[in-house]
């Protein structure tokens, strides 16, 4: 259960403990204040007392947890948490997060991400744009099937020009997902989306990462090294290849007689299962 909460809220174990303490102490404070306020009314305990008590508790609970969250350093988390509750109750209007997916190949991960967001009825996260650096790549067909606009990236403009930042701004992009994108992202583009760009790597970083480590090259290296397990790493993107803060990892065994092709199938299965969920959890926790 605690592991699920850590992934859902995108927090570490220590912060999760502080969040739980805030919920507990904030709830206790709310109950105490609610009873004290009702004492002032002089009402006898009965049905009316219970109804008013519930109403008072509902009104003061957000304030109590916000106050308690300050000394625990969790004010930002609870501010966002309460805002999402208000949005789900239609008390405030939610602004959807607009995603751009960068891909170079068949686009199976992009397809799974789109299916996950659409299939779950997720309205707060929208795949707005798919950018590809390879003409005729399968991901372009996937985008067309889902009715998502595409942009074919030109090398010179991407590396030496405006890095397609005006295009991303024009479409209101809030977050970037690299799903099998084989070009190194320019520093200016990374700087424009700080902690708002994630990548997936087909190995357990920090092992088997870096320049030139992609696809079957990674699986070949894992098998050659005699590793007993491999997996995937979902991480934020910084200016160093496969280096940013890790969001999630998932593992699989490397069996005797494993081939790069058989290991690739296991890795793809992990990617399709975890990448869409990790993106949803990450953005819903913001």
Catalytic residues: 201
Taking residue 185's Cβ as centre, other Cβ atoms within 10 Å add up to 21
- The first and second tokens of residue 22, run together, are 């805030």
Task: Report how far residue 203's alpha carbon sits from residue 221's, in angstroms, rounded to the nearest whole number.
Answer: 10
């Amino acid at each position: 259960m605690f592991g699920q909460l850590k992934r859902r809220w995108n927090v570490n174990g220590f912060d999760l403990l502080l969040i739980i303490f805030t919920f507990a102490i904030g709830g206790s404070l709310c109950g105490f204040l609610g009873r004290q306020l009702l004492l002032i009314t002089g009402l006898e305990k009965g049905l009316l007392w219970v109804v008013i008590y519930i109403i008072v508790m509902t009104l003061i609970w957000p304030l109590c947890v916000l106050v308690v969250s300050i000394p625990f350093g969790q004010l930002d988390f609870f501010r966002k948490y309460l805002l999402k509750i208000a949005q789900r109750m239609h008390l405030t209007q939610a602004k959807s997060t607009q995603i751009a997916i960068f891909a170079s190949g068949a686009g199976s991960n992009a397809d799974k991400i789109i299916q996950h967001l659409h299939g779950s009825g997720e309205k707060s996260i929208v795949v707005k744009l798919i950018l590809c650096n390879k003409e005729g790549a399968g991901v372009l067909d996937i985008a067309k099937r889902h009715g998502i606009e595409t942009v074919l990236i030109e090398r010179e403009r991407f590396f030496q020009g405006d890095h397609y930042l005006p295009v991303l701004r024009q479409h209101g992009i809030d977050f970037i997902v690299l799903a099998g994108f084989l070009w190194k992202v320019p520093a200016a583009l990374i700087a424009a989306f700080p902690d708002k760009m994630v990548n997936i790597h087909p190995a357990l970083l920090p092992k088997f990462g870096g320049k030139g480590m992609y696809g079957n090259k990674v699986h070949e290296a894992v098998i050659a090294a005699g590793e007993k397990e491999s997996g995937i790493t979902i991480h934020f993107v910084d200016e160093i290849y496969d280096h940013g803060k890790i969001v999630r990892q998932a593992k699989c065994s490397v069996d005797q007689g494993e081939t790069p092709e058989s290991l690739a199938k296991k890795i793809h299965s992990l990617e399709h299962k975890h990448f869409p969920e990790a993106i949803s959890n990450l953005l819903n926790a913001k």
